[in-house]
């Protein structure tokens, strides 16, 4: 037998007090003259023996009652095979508060039942046990153990959330909590519906020194159709034109969903789309066509009508539509009028001509595309500025000058880590191939097999292949005519021949030139995100105007919720840290309290769109004997079972009962056994 609080055993020394009192207590007798007592001597001796026995029994009852009470405070227990039974416990209780817990049980929603079960678990533990309450947010406030009263308060404060954490992540966050709780018996309770999508635990991920109790709270299986994703088909959203938006629907049920209504809203105005049929267990991709009326931030929401699970029935998108794309043409001697006309003929483009000797580097960042043509040399200053804007996301197009001097472009190419143009050759060569599967020309030609007039050059450089190299167009002999280098967030396009009809007829091939110029300006825009996921994306990227200055009061994020985010500059971009402050889906606007700066669409995690879950036998088969499956009826029965199991291993209540019994016997002896 062991004691939970052995320090109380020192109090057993107090048992000597009643013994001392009993031994050294002498009654003083008063002398009274009396007649002959010779005949009473025998009766007095018999009475004295009886009184002595009575006093000894009373003393024994008092000592046993006091000893039992002291031992009860020391809380004796019999250790089990691991030597842990009866120890103080450090208990971590995880409550599944995701949207899937909106399902109904015989006691209301699964979430309400889970909170009631957690309350019963806490109440079943002792006053000196330490308890941690966790949920899907896994916030910093949940990384500590609480008293029983504080734990009950923490349970009441838990609300439903759009954040979803797999159970493997939950357990990995729980296990380090016990490292500072030496001397406590660690236990974990996981209260969840154990959906298949989040129950990714394996026996190897469970700490063998921790007892795991899994408490399933589940409802009947339900069917569900979810909007999983949506995106713009074209990389650039053009105002005044129809823009295609693709979206995917998934039927997670076993029966076909007929005539599912789909609608969308643009800046708050609702539009019908129609109805679709979704086969069972299949994913369907459909497209809606949205006409953007003006420039600025656009707020788009796609919705379906599906019951009973509704948290994944809408998907939000946010897109910024610029008035025009700036395209800067840098030349050295001859003004490239044909190139200026070609760029200006593309709607949505705003070209500007700049001589190489009079450049304003501060305006580079405001352009989507910078074209270098006919430069006999690229200076170190220009190379450094071009490197900055390319790394930040601006694309650069290079038409080399004819017959360059050796090393003319070495500084520029070395800074970007690409090979410089090779040897110059004066030879007529025909372009024989276009990469129709690459990003640039993948969706340009309706009939790719049609005869396309390809360029011909009479003077060109030999382009060497380098890192992150892509050939867009090549000559008939296989040598590159147009290549693309990936430089962080931007692209560098390099032609083998100079611009001008003296070296190629590219200017007279508009079916090739104009689509290429458009895609060269917007190719990096395809990576721009139009939506984010709550709980996964803790920060968003934002590119302000070049002349924007951060206000001292900071920025404000408004939408379904309002909060103040933190900002971190990263080159030309800013990282807007939202952390766990976004908890409701919708469109959030970033402003400096004077004007709107950007918009961000946040959607709920689709991890739990599939309503299937693991049953208790399936969990047992998956995790084996490493876990204890608790079949929870209600909170009262669960608390009663836990408390009974705990009391079976501790004997303090027996000692308290013994103390009461012997105090009662003492009272009987005093009252019924008279002197």
| Range list for CATH 3.40.50.880 in the chain | 325-526
Burial 169-189, CB ≥16 within 10 A → b, else e: ebbebbbebbeebeebbbbbb
| Range list for CATH 2.60.40.10 in the chain | 225-321
For 78-117, how does the pLDDT look when each residue is reduced to its tens digit (9 = 90+)?
A: 655 444 445 688 999 999 999 888 887 766 788 999 999 9
Residue 307 pLDDT: 82
How far apart (Å, rounded) are the C-alpha atoms in residues 99 and 311?
Answer: 7
For 492-518, how does the pLDDT look when each residue is reduced to its tens digit (9 = 90+)?
A: 999 999 999 999 999 999 989 999 999
For 590-613, how does the pLDDT look when each residue is reduced to its tens digit (9 = 90+)?
A: 998 888 899 999 999 999 899 889
Please report how many Cα atoms fall inside a 13 Å half-sphere around the Cα of residue 337, on the Cβ side.
0
Residue 350 burial by Cβ neighbours in a 10 Å radius (0-12, 13-18, 19+): middle
| Total-model pTM | 0.73
Residue 84 pLDDT: 47
CA-wise closest residue to 520 among 341, 630, 632, 368:
368
- Tell me which CATH code domain 89-221+612-648 carries: 3.40.50.410
Residue 316 pLDDT: 97
**3-state class (DSSP) for residue 88:** coil
The confidence band for 647, taking pLDDT boundaries of 50, 70 and 90, is low
Please spell the DSSP secondary structure of 31-70, one letter per residue.
P---S--TTTHHHHHHHHHHHHHHHHHHHHHHHHHHHHHH
Say which residue, 248 or 45, is predicted with more confidence.
248
Residue 85 pLDDT: 47
Question: What is the fold of 225-321?
Answer: Immunoglobulin-like (2.60.40)
For 301-313, how does the pLDDT look when each residue is reduced to its tens digit (9 = 90+)?
A: 999 988 888 889 9
The answer to whether 289 and 258 are in contact (CB under 8 A) is no
Domain 325-526 has CATH 3.40.50.300: no
Q: What is the mean pLDDT of the chain?
A: 85
The answer to whether 351 and 514 are in contact (CB under 8 A) is no
Q: How far is CA 407 from CA 82, 95, 376, 425, 658, in A?
A: 76, 66, 10, 17, 100
Please name the residue ranges forming H helices in 5-40.
16-24
| Range list for CATH 3.40.50.410 in the chain | 89-221+612-648
Please spell the DSSP secondary structure of 186-202, one letter per residue.
EEEEEEE--BTTT----
The answer to whether 213 and 190 are in contact (CB under 8 A) is yes
Contacts of 329 (CB under 8 A, 6+ apart): 336, 339, 340, 343, 351, 352, 353, 354, 371, 373
Residue 83 pLDDT: 45
**Beta-strand relationship, 586-591 and 490-495:** unpaired
The answer to whether 92 and 177 are in contact (CB under 8 A) is yes
- Reading the block at residue 268, the tokens are 């708050």
The confidence band for 171, taking pLDDT boundaries of 50, 70 and 90, is very high
């Amino acid at each position: 037998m062991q004691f939970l609080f052995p320090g109380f055993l020192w109090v057993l020394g107090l048992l000597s007090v009643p013994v001392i009192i009993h031994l050294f207590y002498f009654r003083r007798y008063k002398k009274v003259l009396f007649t002959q007592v010779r005949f009473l001597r025998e009766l007095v001796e018999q009475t004295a023996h009886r009184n002595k026995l009575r006093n000894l029994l009373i003393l024994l009852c008092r000592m046993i009652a006091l000893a039992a009470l002291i031992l009860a405070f020391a809380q004796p227990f019999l250790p089990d095979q691991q030597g842990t039974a009866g120890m103080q416990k450090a208990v971590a209780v995880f409550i599944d508060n995701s949207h899937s817990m909106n399902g109904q049980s015989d006691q209301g929603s699964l979430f309400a039942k889970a909170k009631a079960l957690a309350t019963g678990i806490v109440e079943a533990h002792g006053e000196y046990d330490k308890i941690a309450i966790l949920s899907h947010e896994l916030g910093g406030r949940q990384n500590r153990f609480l008293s029983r009263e504080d734990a009950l308060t923490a349970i009441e404060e838990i609300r439903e959330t759009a954040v979803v954490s797999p159970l493997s992540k939950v357990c990995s966050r729980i296990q380090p909590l016990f490292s500072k709780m030496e001397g406590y018996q660690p236990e974990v309770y996981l209260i969840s519906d154990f959906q298949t999508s989040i129950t990714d635990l394996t026996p190897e991920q469970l700490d063998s020194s921790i007892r795991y109790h899994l408490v399933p709270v589940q409802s009947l299986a339900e069917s569900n159709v979810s909007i999983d994703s949506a995106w713009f088909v074209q990389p650039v959203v053009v105002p005044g034109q129809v823009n295609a938006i693709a979206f995917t629907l998934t039927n997670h049920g076993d029966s076909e969903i007929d005539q599912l209504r789909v609608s969308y809203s643009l800046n708050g105005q609702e539009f019908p789309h129609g109805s679709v049929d979704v086969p069972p267990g299949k994913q369907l991709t459909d497209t809606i066509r949205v006409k953007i009326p003006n420039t600025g931030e656009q707020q788009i929401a796609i919705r379906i009508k599906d019951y009973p699970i509704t948290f994944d029935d809408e998907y939000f998108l946010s897109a910024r539509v610029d008035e025009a794309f700036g395209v800067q043409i840098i030349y050295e001697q001859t003004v490239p009028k044909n190139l200026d006309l070609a760029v200006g003929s593309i709607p949505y483009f705003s070209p500007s001509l700049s001589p190489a000797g009079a450049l304003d580097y501060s305006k580079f960042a405001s352009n989507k595309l910078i074209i270098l043509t006919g430069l006999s040399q690229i200076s170190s200053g220009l190379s450094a500025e071009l490197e900055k804007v390319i790394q930040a996301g601006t694309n650069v197009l290079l038409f080399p000058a004819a017959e360059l001097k050796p090393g003319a472009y070495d500084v520029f190419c070395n800074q970007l880590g690409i090979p410089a143009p090779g040897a110059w050759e004066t030879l007529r060569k025909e372009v024989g191939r276009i990469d129709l599967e690459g990003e640039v020309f993948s969706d340009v030609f309706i009939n790719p097999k049609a005869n396309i007039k390809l360029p011909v050059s009479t003077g060109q450089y030999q382009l060497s292949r380098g890192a992150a190299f892509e050939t867009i167009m090549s000559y008939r002999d296989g040598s590159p005519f147009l290549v693309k280098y990936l430089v962080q967030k931007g692209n560098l396009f390099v032609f083998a021949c100079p611009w001008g009809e003296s070296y190629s007829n590219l200017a007279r091939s508009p079916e090739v030139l104009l689509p290429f110029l458009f895609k060269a300006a917007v190719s990096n825009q395809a990576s721009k995100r139009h939506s984010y996921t709550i709980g996964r994306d803790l920060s968003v990227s934002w590119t302000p105007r070049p002349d924007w200055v951060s206000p001292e009061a900071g920025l404000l994020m408004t939408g379904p919720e309002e909060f103040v985010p933190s900002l971190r500059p990263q080159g030309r971009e800013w990282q807007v840290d939202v952390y766990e402050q976004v908890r409701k889906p919708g469109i959030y606007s970033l402003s400096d309290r004077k004007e709107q700066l950007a918009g961000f669409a946040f959607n709920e995690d689709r991890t739990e769109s599939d309503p299937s879950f693991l049953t208790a036998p399936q969990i047992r088969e998956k995790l084996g004997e490493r876990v204890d499956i608790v079949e929870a009826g209600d909170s009262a029965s669960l608390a009663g079972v836990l408390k009974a199991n705990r009391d079976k291993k501790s004997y303090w209540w027996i000692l308290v009962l013994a103390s009461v019994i012997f105090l009662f016997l003492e009272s009987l002896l005093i009252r019924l056994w008279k002197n």
